[in-house]
């Protein structure tokens, strides 16, 4: 009998045409559009190659329209296909907006979600008069006013640390705990873009998009000084800014315990 | 009576979904697919705004699937719309894969094609095992072998100067002259990509794509040393390399006499 291997995929995807990472239970599909999720597309390709049905465990879901430069997902299979051939084989079956970037065997105990130390999400804003055709699906375009990036950067720092982020959680989500730890947050200009990177041990639903929506109001001068501190304290979603569109958001990095990636 | 103004547009487009820049005569459309050209899409938007039919004169056509970061086109119209409002108005009517980046009044004598000094085209190659989902429509993906960029760079230099580029002209095109002047050519690596920039006073049909196809063979080690010099001399399309796909090609810059841009 062939030994069962624990195999880890590094995956990149353009989320534009997907309903997010996570496979939907069929009852949830009712009344929704019929677009696919990234997980089911990859699982279908794996089933074709492995001749067995496998379930992918990812570092976490990404929402509809969100992109990933580096998503990780592992699965268990009793396959004898050489791993250095498997990436090519999977990519040959995948649409061009999903790519497997690497395939590796990992210890049996490795779990793509439980072993996450931190994840980094990046939100990208194009803050100039006209949008760019080449970036149109990957940035939020804010024609004006010029956002005050240094104030956004300064104000954002109050979010670093272990806090209750209830004010930045989608209000329709009932999750038990809303305490998370933001390890780092940075707001910087790079080649005409504003990049907002958030590294945390976990993210609430819409957390980054709500933080960015609030920081944009800070950058527009619409929020008094130290307002982020107060928003955190009140634990009320209505006090934070709007949820910005998914298309500007990318899962940039996943850091694992014991540096497995 | 309102004065007729000569108005210059700077335009960016993602060529993926277009049959190139130039409007097609209806007889040429027979048997072709029904996708649009960039020129007719912009002319339709202008007609809506100006309430008169205008003809765009561009710096030159780009072929089906070729992109532009900086195309220029001028038109004449007796309009009183302020030019600082016109860009917004046009963009509001354009699809998101075409953007007008600036609108300026230019001297009556200015002609977007006749006044070109040089144009710069860039061809982009992604030379690694897996393609990138974010670049898939803008690069040629060559998984292997690793191309020898320094040899490509060195060999390419023989093309600089005034030469008969008949060997690099699409064989089915009968154009009177095939002498052009390449002002500069560079092959360099930048952030994982191979960028091939060609600046010339004019380009023959498929010239850049045929030069790049030949340089790739050089980079693969499939051509003897100094082969480009010989290919130039024989003036025979069959001696050069294949035509690479349009999607890797972008019109990067247009330089005008008297620096009008």
pLDDT tens, residue by residue, B225-243: 899 999 999 999 999 999 9
Cα angle: A71, vertex A73, A77; to 5 degrees: 155
| Mean pLDDT (chain B, rounded) | 93
Active-site residue, B63 included: yes
Q: What share of chain B has pLDDT > 70, as a percent?
A: 94
For position A24, what pLDDT does the model report? 81
> How far is Cα A11 from Cα A67, in angstroms, rounded to an integer?
11
Q: Lowest mean pLDDT: which of A227-236, A252-261, B30-39, B81-90? A: B30-39
Per-residue model confidence as pLDDT tens digits over A44-89: 999 999 999 999 999 999 999 999 999 999 999 999 999 989 999 9
Helix (H, G, I), strand (E, B) or coil at A188: strand
Kindly report whether the global pTM for this prediction surpasses the value 0.95.
no
A5-114 shares its CATH topology with A117-255: yes
Handedness of CA A117, A120, A58, A205 (dihedral sign): positive
Please indicate whether, in this complex, the C-beta atoms of A99 and B130 are within 8 angstroms of each other. Answer: yes
Residue A30 pLDDT greater than 70, yes or no: no
When pLDDT is averaged across residues B166-174 and rounded to a whole number, the result is 84
For position A174, what pLDDT does the model report? 66
When pLDDT is averaged across residues B128-143 and rounded to a whole number, the result is 95
Residue A31 pLDDT greater than 90, yes or no: no
| Mean pLDDT (chain A, rounded) | 93
For position A65, what pLDDT does the model report? 96
For position A27, what pLDDT does the model report? 42
Overall fold of domain A5-114? Alpha-Beta Plaits (3.30.70)
For position A175, what pLDDT does the model report? 65
For position B175, what pLDDT does the model report? 65
DSSP assigned state of A157: G
> The domain A117-255: what is its CATH number?
3.30.70.660
Spatial contact of A205 and A235, defined as CB atoms under 8 Å apart: no
Q: How do beta strands B57-58 and A116-126 pair?
A: unpaired
Q: Lowest mean pLDDT: which of A12-26, A66-80, B184-198? A: A12-26
Spatial contact of A37 and A24, defined as CB atoms under 8 Å apart: yes
Q: Which residues of A200-227 are buried (b: 16+ CB within 10 A; e: fewer)?
A: bebbbbbbbbbbbbbbbbbbbeebeeeb
* Integer CA distances (angstroms), B220 to B153, B207, B239, in order: 13, 20, 16
Six-digit token string for A57: 């465990």
The 10 Å Cβ neighbour count of residue B95 is: 16
For position A210, what pLDDT does the model report? 97
pLDDT band at residue A3 using 50, 70 and 90 as cut-offs = confident
- Counting every residue written for chain B, the total comes to 261
Six-digit token string for B5: 């103004």
Q: Which of A134, A143, A191, A251 to mutate to test the interface with B (most CBs of B within 10 A)?
A: A134
> How far is Cα A193 from Cα A127, in angstroms, rounded to an integer?
7
Please indicate whether, in this complex, the C-beta atoms of A134 and B14 are within 8 angstroms of each other. Answer: yes
Q: How do beta strands B5-13 and B140-141 pair?
A: unpaired
DSSP assigned state of A53: -
For position A171, what pLDDT does the model report? 79
Per-residue model confidence as pLDDT tens digits over B40-50: 999 999 999 99
Nearest by CB to B131, from A99, A129, A136: name it: A99
Per-residue model confidence as pLDDT tens digits over B15-25: 999 999 999 87
Per-residue model confidence as pLDDT tens digits over A105-157: 999 999 999 999 999 999 999 999 889 999 999 999 999 999 999 999 999 99
Q: Which of B41, B103, B134, B138 to mutate to test the interface with A (most CBs of A within 10 A)?
A: B134
Please indicate whether, in this complex, the C-beta atoms of A134 and B96 are within 8 angstroms of each other. Answer: no
Residue A1 pLDDT greater than 70, yes or no: no
Q: What is the ipTM of this complex?
A: 0.88
> How far is Cα A133 from Cα B96, in angstroms, rounded to an integer?
6
Going by C-alpha positions, the residue among A82, A3, A87, A84 that lies closest to residue A42 is A87
- Residues ≥6 apart with Cβ < 8 Å to B176: none
Nearest by CB to A96, from B67, B96, B133: name it: B133
Domain ranges in chain B are 5-114, 117-255
pLDDT band at residue A32 using 50, 70 and 90 as cut-offs = low
For position B258, what pLDDT does the model report? 77
For position B29, what pLDDT does the model report? 52
pLDDT band at residue A2 using 50, 70 and 90 as cut-offs = confident
């Amino acid at each position: 009998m062939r030994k069962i291997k624990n195999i880890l995929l590094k995956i990149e995807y353009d989320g534009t045409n997907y309903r997010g990472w996570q496979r939907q239970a069929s009852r949830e599909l009712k009344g929704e559009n019929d677009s696919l999720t990234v997980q089911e597309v990859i699982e279908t390709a794996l089933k074709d190659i492995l001749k067995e049905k496998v379930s992918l465990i990812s570092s976490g879901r990404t929402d509809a329209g969100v992109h990933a430069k580096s998503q990780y997902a592992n699965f268990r299979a009793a396959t004898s296909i050489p791993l250095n051939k498997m990436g090519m084989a999977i990519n040959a079956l995948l649409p061009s907006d999903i790519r497997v970037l690497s395939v590796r065997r990992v210890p049996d105990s490795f779990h793509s979600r439980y072993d996450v130390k931190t994840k980094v999400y990046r939100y990208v804003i194009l803050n100039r008069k006209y949008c760019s055709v080449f970036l149109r699906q990957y940035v939020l375009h804010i024609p004006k006013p010029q956002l005050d990036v240094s104030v956004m950067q300064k104000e954002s720092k109050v979010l670093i640390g272990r806090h209750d982020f209830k004010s930045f959680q989608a209000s329709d989500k009932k999750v038990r705990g809303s305490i998370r730890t933001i390890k780092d947050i940075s707001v910087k200009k790079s080649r005409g873009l504003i990049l907002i990177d958030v590294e945390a041990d976990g993210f609430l639903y819409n957390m980054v998009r709500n933080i960015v929506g609030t920081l944009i109001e800070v950058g527009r001068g619409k929020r008094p000084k130290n307002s982020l501190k107060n928003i955190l304290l009140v634990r009320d979603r209505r006090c934070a800014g709007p949820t910005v569109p998914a298309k500007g958001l990318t899962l940039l990095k996943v850091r694992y315990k014991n540096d497995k990636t």
